[in-house]
Amino acid sequence: MTLTIEHWNVENDGEISEMAMREKLERKGYSVTRYIYPPGTYFPDHAHEVDKIDGVLSGQFMLRVEGEAVILEAGDTLELPHGTLHSAEVVGHEPVISLDAVRE
């Protein structure tokens, strides 16, 4: 699986904000929940029964899928189809503010 990060595009999406990212994810058909993860947060390998998008508003969130690691930063989103085995962790000293989007 190739991981493709979608970076926020100010020209197309306007200035980044929680409301703007939430609306963009909802337009794609996802339900969105906001989370704050403190430094050191780690989620071991797991999968979801639903299609999911991880979006980051601030901080750095590293996701590993099938041996490939990517770091999401402010404005980045990553789609994870249902059943995708992955792990995630907050890197650095700043909490991650995340928009967790799911489509059932």
In order of 9, 26, 61, 68, 72, the CA distances from 83 in angstroms are 29, 21, 20, 16, 20
| Sign of the torsion angle spanned by Cα atoms 49, 55, 61, 63 | positive
Give this prediction's pTM.
0.93
Question: What pLDDT does residue 83 have?
Answer: 93
Residues across the chain: 104
Identity of residue 46: H
d(CA 80, CA 52): 5
Across residues 92-103, what is the average pLDDT?
Answer: 96
Span 36-93, pLDDT tens digits = 999 999 999 999 999 999 999 999 999 999 889 999 999 999 999 999 999 999 999 9
Across residues 17-24, what is the average pLDDT?
Answer: 97
Question: What pLDDT does residue 102 have?
Answer: 97
Question: What pLDDT does residue 8 have?
Answer: 96
d(CA 15, CA 12): 9
- Name, in order, each residue with C-beta under 8 angstroms of 103's C-beta and a sequence gap of 6 or more: 28, 29, 30, 31, 50, 51, 52
Please determine, for residue 104, whether its predicted confidence score (pLDDT) is greater than 80. Answer: no
Out of 3.90.600.10, 3.40.720.10, 3.40.50.970, 2.60.120.10, which CATH number does the structure's domain 5-103 have? Answer: 2.60.120.10
Domain ranges within the chain, ordered by starting residue: 5-103
